[in-house]
Amino acid sequence: MQLVKPEFGLIFWMLVSFGIIFWILKKFAWKPILNMLKEREDFITNALGSAERAKKEMAELQSNNEKLLNEARNQRDIMLKEAREIKDQIVGEAKGAAQKEADKLLKSARENIQSEKNAAIAEMKNQVAALSLEIAEKILKEELSSSDKQKTLVKTLLNDVNLN
Amino acid sequence: MANNYKSFEMFFRRFLLILAFILPTSLLFAGDPDNDTLRAQTPSVEKVEPKSEKFNAGELIIDHISDSHEWHIAGHIAVPLPVILYSSRGLSVFLSSHLEDGTRGFKYEKLKDGSHKMIALGANGVEDEAVTSTVWDLSITKNVLSIFITMALMLWIFLSAAKAYKRSPGVAPKGIQSFVEPMILFVRDDIAKSAIGEKKYARYMPFLLTIFFFIWLSNMLGLIPFLPGGANVTGNIAVAMTLAAIVFIITLFSSNANYWRHILAMPGVPIGVLVLLTPIEIFGMFLKPFVLMIRLFANILAGHIIALSFFSLIFIFAEMSTGVGFGVAIFSVAFTIFMGMLELLVAFLQAYVFTLLAAMYFGSATEEHAHAEHH
């Protein structure tokens, strides 16, 4: 029976000491410990959340970078292409102009040569004519220096006429 | 993977609960025969008691699991504890060593049924019944001292833990924190949050933590067979009753209209059934803390009885022959070690179950109306 008969003294001391320890622990142990645990949990949750956000931002930034890079690459390609085209055009134009100039020069040179040649030929013709006249004069002078010779000439000339 | 882990946790929790409900009965059944034999033996012993050298297992066990005014250490050595009595003679405070000889006018006498009673002695050395009936025994007994030791231990552990938390906030736990923190989180997440609910659990946390650690530490100290421990605190009905009564009172004070509606007139139940159901519900309201008390008390008591019974076996057989005594000792010690392991589990389990059930009562007392639609 003794085992199931609660003793008053024990109940009394149990209540008193439990009340005291409950009050002390509640005020000085449980409250700060639970608060700290809660704070730490919140801190960790926040930290994890912001890490996640930072990761997402990084990924976004990276994809942005990628996009920018691609754009830049494209632009560069376009610019290069354009530059090449312009270069080709300029080179082509320059070549054309040079050709034209050269042609022009050549043509004028040729014309010059032609006119020089013509002048030379004309000069030569004149000279030849003058020389021929001189020679003919000299020959005539020679041929007609004696009366015999004049007579034979007339004779031959007449013979030629007769033949005709 | 996470799923696996969840289902294992569920399984583990269920396993704990089943153990908690099965163990008390099995231990009690195991403990009962000893109890019967000791009761059968007690009267015959009283006749031969004076100078009997015969080993009496029943008396030894009862002596060890009962509260006492002195702390027995070994052999005939015992530490006397202060006796505090309030009677019509006023307050009397003296050491328990004076109880034996009655020099301070009080004697702790053994009654016929084996229990003890504090009696006041008259001038002629006979009982003064008029004074005896007014005696209130507020002595610092073995159990009271053990409660004080447990509480001092709790103060030391948790105040230093709190200091560590304040000193380095937001840092991973170390030292005493790493011992305390998982248990606190266990009580918070697995007991309070799951039984009371996310919204209201915080109010009950200090109480739940206090009873959980008090019961657990008391149980553990009870397993230590020498001085700081060895007292049968939580296996004492007065302690278990006080704890259960506090739980009951808190339940009543935190109860809302919804709780009372479920007890007095369960919603959605026809009036004819209510006539039957309401008395049962009211009875159940008182039954819950009663069962809470019995479960803790019986479990721990049974654990102590079993350990002592195994040791008593050694001496019972040693009285027959020393050799048999040594032979039995091997098995007894082996069994006691096994029981000790089991008791380590039970010590935690009973603290867990007591706290969990207390939390569930608080939870049902504060439950909101929304739940009523399910009925």
- pLDDT tens digits, one per residue of A119-130: 999 999 999 899
Residues found in chain B: 375
Chain B nearest-CA residue for A8: B137
A84-88, A122-126, B44-48, B105-109: least confidently modelled range: B44-48
Confidence of residue B45 (pLDDT cuts 50, 70, 90): very low
Q: What is the pLDDT of residues A128-157, one digit of tens each?
A: 899 888 988 888 787 777 888 788 878 888
A69-73, B26-30, B197-201, B290-294: least confidently modelled range: B26-30
Confidence of residue B375 (pLDDT cuts 50, 70, 90): very low
Please report, for residues A13, B46, B142, the alpha-carbon distance to residue B351 in angstroms, rounded to integers and kept in the order given. Answer: 20, 38, 21
Which residues, including other chains, have CB under 8 Å from residue B49's CB and lie 6 or more apart?
none
Q: What is the pLDDT of residues B72-101, one digit of tens each?
A: 877 778 888 888 988 888 888 888 888 877
Domain coordinates in residue numbering, chain B: 78-140, 143-374
Q: What is the pLDDT of residue B4?
A: 52
State the count of interchain CB pairs (< 8 A) between A and B.
127
Tokens of B273: 């059934």
Q: What is the pLDDT of residue B50?
A: 42
**Chain A CB contacts of B138 below 8 Å:** 8-9, 12-13
Residue A42: pLDDT over 80: yes
Instruction: Please tell me whether the interface predicted TM-score (ipTM) of this complex is above 0.95.
Output: no
Average pLDDT over residues A91-105: 91
Q: What is the pLDDT of residue A70?
A: 94
Distance in angstroms (rounded) separating the CA atoms of residues B114 and B102: 20
Please report, for residues B78, B116, B314, the alpha-carbon distance to residue B75 in angstroms, rounded to integers and kept in the order given. Answer: 8, 21, 17
Give pTM, 2 decimals: 0.72
Chain B nearest-CA residue for A44: B170
B181–A contact, CB cutoff 8 A: yes
Q: What is the pLDDT of residues B254-270, one digit of tens each?
A: 988 888 888 888 888 88
Q: Mutate which of B145, B151, B154 to disrupt the A interface (most A C-beta within 10 Å)?
A: B151
B150-154, B219-223, B272-276: least confidently modelled range: B272-276
Residue B335: pLDDT over 70: yes
Q: What is the pLDDT of residue B53?
A: 63
Q: What is the pLDDT of residue B19?
A: 53
DSSP letter (8 states) at residue B175 = T
The answer to whether the CB atoms of B138 and A34 lie below 8 A apart is no
Residue B293: pLDDT over 60: yes
Assess contact for B336 and B310: CB atoms under 8 A: yes
B139–A contact, CB cutoff 8 A: yes
Chain A nearest-CA residue for B182: A37
- Angle between helix axes B271-320 and B57-65 (nearest 10 degrees) is 130
Burial zone of B278 (CB within 10 Å; 0-12 exposed, 13-18 middle, 19+ buried): middle
d(CA B249, nearest CA chain A) in Å: 13
Q: Are strands B77-80 and B70-74 parallel, antiparallel or unpaired?
A: antiparallel
Q: What is the pLDDT of residues B5-19, one digit of tens each?
A: 555 555 556 555 555
Interface subset of A 46-75, CB within 8 angstroms of B: none
B133–A contact, CB cutoff 8 A: no
A163–B contact, CB cutoff 8 A: no
Distance in angstroms (rounded) separating the CA atoms of residues B40 and B143: 27
Say how many CA atoms lie within 13 Å of B119 toward its Cβ. Answer: 18
* One-letter amino acid of B232: N
B234–A contact, CB cutoff 8 A: no
User: Residue A31: helix, strand or coil by DSSP?
Assistant: helix
Q: What is the pLDDT of residue B98?
A: 83
DSSP letter (8 states) at residue A2 = G
Distance in angstroms (rounded) separating the CA atoms of residues B242 and B290: 11
**Chain B CB contacts of A6 below 8 Å:** 237-238, 241
Which of B93, B244, B350, B115 lies closest to A11, judged by CA?
B244
Q: Which among B115, B151, B166 has the least Cβ separation from residue A5? A: B115
Assess contact for B82 and B91: CB atoms under 8 A: no
Paired with A60 in beta bridges are none
Residue B248: pLDDT over 80: yes
Instruction: Show the beta-strand stretches assigned E in chain B.
Output: 70-74, 77-80, 82-87, 90-95, 106-110, 116-120, 136-137
Average pLDDT over residues B318-345: 87
d(CA B2, nearest CA chain A) in Å: 19
Residue A64: pLDDT over 50: yes
Interface subset of B 311-370, CB within 8 angstroms of A: none
